[in-house]
A and B are shown apart, each in its own frame.
Chain A
Amino acid sequence: MSLFEGRDLLCIRGERVVFEGLSFAIDPGEAVLLTGANGSGKSSLLRLMAGLLRPSGGNLLWKDVAIDSDAHNQRLHYVGHLDAVKPALTVVENLRFWTMLASSAPEDSTAFALSIFGLSRIADVPARMLSAGQKRRLALARLIAIPAPLWLLDEPTIALDAQSVGVLREAILAHLKSGGMAAIATHSELGLPAKRIELGRFAAGAIRGRPE
């Protein structure tokens, strides 16, 4: 079976069925693109994969075993709509907090991650002075600073300029090449070789099916 699988997932938010009968399978080196209209459940599916949201039906499996949240948290990165950047801390302080919390990160990974996303020169600037794009890059720098096999990205390219999108794309490709996995909700074409899950098909009452 695949390394990370979801079978027959049912997601209910409030009193609304967001999607039902949704299944996916991701293997090392694979990426999944989540597409669909707003409200179709892309963010919900990513939060479900992260374990923040529990499915109302169906199973999430890692190596064919039901997910243990402690172990699962350690092997994923979740980058949502919000950047989780504290304005009162500097760029490097923001990132270093997360790398030290994860503690599985190598010593100099913070500096390296900042350099990848072009933030080295403003490392000591308080984050309140950053533009939206810079904050986004700081949030994404976590992906590089802390190794984790599964990347869950919700609209990562929002507020990013074309060059930064290219940097992100390279980072994802490198991650996939070294055996990582990614699920990315996006409106824009990232030019990644990826399976697709079109979420509109799993809306309540829609045809049940599997991703292509």
Chain B
Amino acid sequence: MNRFFLIIGRELRLAYRQGGDAGLAVAFFVIAAALFPLGVGPEDQLLSRIAAGVVWVTALLAVLLALERLFQADFEDGTLDLLALSPLPLELVVLAKCLANWLLTGAPLLIAAPIIAVLLHMKTEGLVILTASMLLGTPTLSLIGSIGAALTVGARRGGVLLSLLILPLYVPVLIFGVSAVDQSLAGMGGKPELLILGAFLAAALPLAPWAAAAALRQAVE
């Protein structure tokens, strides 16, 4: 267990020293979300109708942007070889890195998202469930994304390829994340959607690191 937290600690320390990653994800999120009123017009009926979808899609893209670098730096400087040989199983290394990545990108989005939602005229009753859905959904996005990051480490055009691979796999989380908010605003509670998001997270926690570790072993061969 100590080793697990050691890796998380190192990731956080590196991010802090190198600066920027967490801030960049939130900045992208805010700017991209701000494009929508510019694109579709500031009419608040329309914006409030699409607010949940816009917040979710831009948050999803922000998480995706940060995932590119999940394993790339370690691959390039030889750290990945040593992590594959470390006493901590590679699956747990992946899980630790995902958790660190989420703390740096997903968690700040949890704070920015309700603010952006208010700017997009989302009804205030929906804010709590929006945050809850993102709390359950963004870790799943980091986990699924880690599979893509592991598969594309060392590839040509890795960043664009990662998006092509991962975005179809993000569709279920997106659908249930948005519909949790929409259903709750329509008076139906949104509980089943949250439960399904929870189920996705529970499934992704063991399965995604396993697949990502398998892909990393291929990268390291």
Determine if B87 and A74 form an interchain contact, defined as CB atoms under 8 angstroms apart: yes
Smallest beta-carbon distance B2→chain A, Å: 7
Distance, CA A88 to CA B13, complexed state (A): 9
A95 within 8 A of B: no
Distance, CA A78 to CA B82, complexed state (A): 7
Contact of B86 among A47, A73, A83 (CB under 8 A): A73
CB neighbours (8 Å) of B87 from chain A are 70, 73-74, 101-103
Smallest beta-carbon distance B160→chain A, Å: 24
A187 within 8 A of B: no
Contact of B78 among A82, A97, A100, A101 (CB under 8 A): A82
The contact string, 1 if C-beta is below 8 Å from chain B, for chain A 83-99, is 11110110001000110
Determine if B77 and A84 form an interchain contact, defined as CB atoms under 8 angstroms apart: yes
The contact string, 1 if C-beta is below 8 Å from chain B, for chain A 29-54, is 00000000000000000010011111
Determine if B17 and A89 form an interchain contact, defined as CB atoms under 8 angstroms apart: yes
Determine if A78 and B79 form an interchain contact, defined as CB atoms under 8 angstroms apart: no
CB neighbours (8 Å) of A149 from chain B are none
A76 within 8 A of B: yes
Smallest beta-carbon distance B11→chain A, Å: 10
Determine if B221 and A54 form an interchain contact, defined as CB atoms under 8 angstroms apart: yes
Smallest beta-carbon distance B7→chain A, Å: 8
Query: Which residues in chain A, 127-157, are within 8 Å of chain B measured between CB atoms?
Result: none
Distance, CA A84 to CA B17, complexed state (A): 17
Distance, CA A84 to CA B82, complexed state (A): 8
Question: Interface on chain B toward A: helix, strand, loop, or mixed SS?
Answer: helix
Determine if B86 and A101 form an interchain contact, defined as CB atoms under 8 angstroms apart: yes
Contacts A74-B87, A103-B2 given; does A52 touch B14 at CB 8 Å: no
Smallest beta-carbon distance A110→chain B, Å: 14
Distance, CA A73 to CA B82, complexed state (A): 9
- When C-beta atoms are compared, the residue in chain A nearest to B221 turns out to be A53
Interface residue range, chain A: 20 to 34
A200 within 8 A of B: no
Contacts A100-B6, A101-B86 given; does A84 touch B221 at CB 8 Å: no
B88 within 8 A of A: yes
Smallest beta-carbon distance B215→chain A, Å: 14
Distance, CA A52 to CA B78, complexed state (A): 12
CB neighbours (8 Å) of B81 from chain A are 52, 78, 80, 82, 84
Contacts A88-B18, A89-B17, A101-B3 given; does A52 touch B82 at CB 8 Å: no
Distance, CA A84 to CA B8, complexed state (A): 17
A177 within 8 A of B: no
CB neighbours (8 Å) of A51 from chain B are 85
- When C-beta atoms are compared, the residue in chain B nearest to A98 turns out to be B82
A208 within 8 A of B: no
A63 within 8 A of B: no
The contact string, 1 if C-beta is below 8 Å from chain A, for chain B 1-27, is 011001100100110011000000000
Contacts A78-B82, A86-B79 given; does A101 touch B88 at CB 8 Å: yes
Determine if A80 and B78 form an interchain contact, defined as CB atoms under 8 angstroms apart: yes
Contact residues of A with B, CB < 8 Å? Answer: 47, 50-54, 70, 73-74, 76, 78, 80-86, 88-89, 93, 97-98, 100-103
Contact residues of B with A, CB < 8 Å? Answer: 2-3, 6-7, 10, 13-14, 17-18, 76-79, 81-82, 84-89, 220-221
The 8 A-B pairs at the shortest CB distance, nearest first, are namely A82-B78, A88-B17, A84-B78, A84-B79, A73-B85, A53-B221, A88-B18, A84-B82
Name 23 A/B residue pairs within 8 A (Cβ), A-sorted: A47-B221, A50-B85, A52-B85, A54-B221, A80-B78, A80-B81, A81-B78, A82-B81, A83-B77, A84-B77, A84-B79, A84-B82, A88-B14, A88-B18, A89-B10, A89-B13, A89-B14, A93-B13, A98-B82, A101-B7, A102-B87, A103-B2, A103-B87
